[in-house]
Homo-oligomer: A and B are copies of this chain.
Amino acid sequence: MTTLFASAGRKIPRVGKRRICFPITSRAYYGRSQLLIKKLHAHPDLELELMLGGSILLDKYSRHIADDIEAGGFVITASLFNVIEGGNHVAMAKTACLTALEFTNGLHAQDPDIVVICGDRFEQLAIAMAAAYLNKTIAHIEGGDVTGSIDESVRHAITKLAHLHFVTNTDAERRVLAMGEDPRYVFNTGSLDVELAASVETSIANVPVNSYGVGHTVDTTQPFLMVIQHPVTTEVDNRQHLETMLRAVGMLDLPAIWFWPNVDAGTGGMSERLRHFREQHEAASTRIRFITNVPADEFVALLKATACVVGNSSAGIKECSYLGTPVVNTGGRQQGRLHADNVVHVAYDADEIRRAVVAQVSHGRYAPSLIYYQPEASQAIVDVLASMPLYTQKRFHDNVSTSTVRIP
């Protein structure tokens, strides 16, 4: 129970443009939101403000993004260093709190009409909380999905703080409604990632894979694997899972491009481990190239060309559903997420992974699925943000007749 005297007057409907604040805290989020950001910026009735914080200001692949953004004519109203070092849970929690503390000042000063929160990153929940306490209308992109990791909790908690919901599939839509959101404000627009994937024209011939990262040369005109393996915050076997994956890939006859995760909280730990790995498993890694970053369009070109994606990336579930790329999904990270026929789930067992990859490679590409796809996803979001009447007082909406809830 919170009692407080409102400090500010009633939210005055702006006579001029509606002001949108978009907090960007990771490179991945910026990448997938590009189409949306450009359209928000170009819209005649909207004023877009970008706020940067978190890892986007830190890692060597991201630092140039701020320059790019400013060069693109966008307005950056804050660039806040607020990542607390440590690469562990306590640093993660404190980073979230410090991020929200600092963004509060910016959100208060800039006074946006809408704050756009993306996905399920831990610091985005903290920012959503601060925005809610400032009585801002919150728009959330990509709610309602089910996954593993702490992301699962974060995503749904953001939903319960948000006022406008842009989901990517019908399962997610039903869940957001079951959680009590008002149907008038829940929009299934499809996935921005998939929209971006569908729009990419870069061909694999133009991807200079071997100029990125370290390791062995991979011939992308021949069949090759892509491995994308993220650690999971709520699991403790991350290191062992990596070992298992490396063994599995080592047993296969195909060359592999291994995307090394951009770890949160900028630890040098990951690169230490990578180096250690390669030394310990030299034989196993003779056909592997390790890469941490390629441009977004080249990543899609690789997804289109690869024989199989292995690991636990959401790209295997979302982009690959549309692209028809075979996927072997490992472990609990994507567990429960809606997926198309292109995905086979396996546990962290080297032999099981190997067999599944062999089967997927021999199956070849799948027919495209539209479960995550709708044309013009970004435009649909922009239209709602520009024109939807706004509200701040939420109230649980009983979309489910109570008799259908199973009480044990």
Q: A interface vs B, CB < 8 Å?
A: 1-10, 26, 28, 57-58, 60, 78-94, 96-98, 100-102, 104-105, 108-109, 119-122, 125-126, 129-130, 132-135, 146, 148-154, 156-161, 170-171, 173-175, 177-180, 183-184, 230-236, 238-239, 261-272, 314, 332, 335-336, 392-396, 398-402, 404-408
Cross-chain contact B268 with A152 (CB below 8 angstroms): no
In the bound complex, residues from chain B placing their C-beta under 8 Å from that of A266 are 85, 266, 268
Cross-chain contact A81 with B81 (CB below 8 angstroms): no
Q: Give the complex CA separation of A28 and B147 in angstroms.
A: 37
Closest to A391 in B: B234
Q: Give the complex CA separation of A235 and B160 in angstroms.
A: 19
Which residue in B7, B96, B148, B401 is a CB contact (below 8 Å) of A87?
Answer: B7
Q: Give the complex CA separation of A78 and B100 in angstroms.
A: 17
Cross-chain contact A87 with B4 (CB below 8 angstroms): yes
Closest Cβ of chain B: how far from A155's Cβ, in Å?
Answer: 8
In the bound complex, residues from chain B placing their C-beta under 8 Å from that of A26 are 1
In the bound complex, residues from chain B placing their C-beta under 8 Å from that of A2 are 92, 120-122, 149-151, 154, 233, 264
Q: Give the complex CA separation of A393 and B152 in angstroms.
A: 8
Which residue in B7, B90, B161 is a CB contact (below 8 Å) of A90?
Answer: B7
Closest Cβ of chain B: how far from A319's Cβ, in Å?
Answer: 14
Closest Cβ of chain B: how far from A105's Cβ, in Å?
Answer: 6
Cross-chain contact A148 with B393 (CB below 8 angstroms): yes
In the bound complex, residues from chain B placing their C-beta under 8 Å from that of A125 are 129
Cross-chain contact B272 with A156 (CB below 8 angstroms): no
Closest to A121 in B: B2
Cross-chain contact A5 with B152 (CB below 8 angstroms): no
Cross-chain contact B108 with A104 (CB below 8 angstroms): no
In the bound complex, residues from chain B placing their C-beta under 8 Å from that of A183 are 406-408
A-B contact pairs, 29 of them (CB 8 A): A1-B119, A5-B263, A5-B267, A5-B270, A6-B88, A6-B235, A81-B85, A81-B91, A90-B105, A96-B129, A97-B104, A98-B98, A132-B150, A132-B154, A156-B396, A171-B402, A175-B398, A178-B178, A178-B179, A178-B399, A178-B400, A179-B179, A183-B407, A234-B393, A266-B268, A332-B393, A399-B406, A400-B400, A404-B404
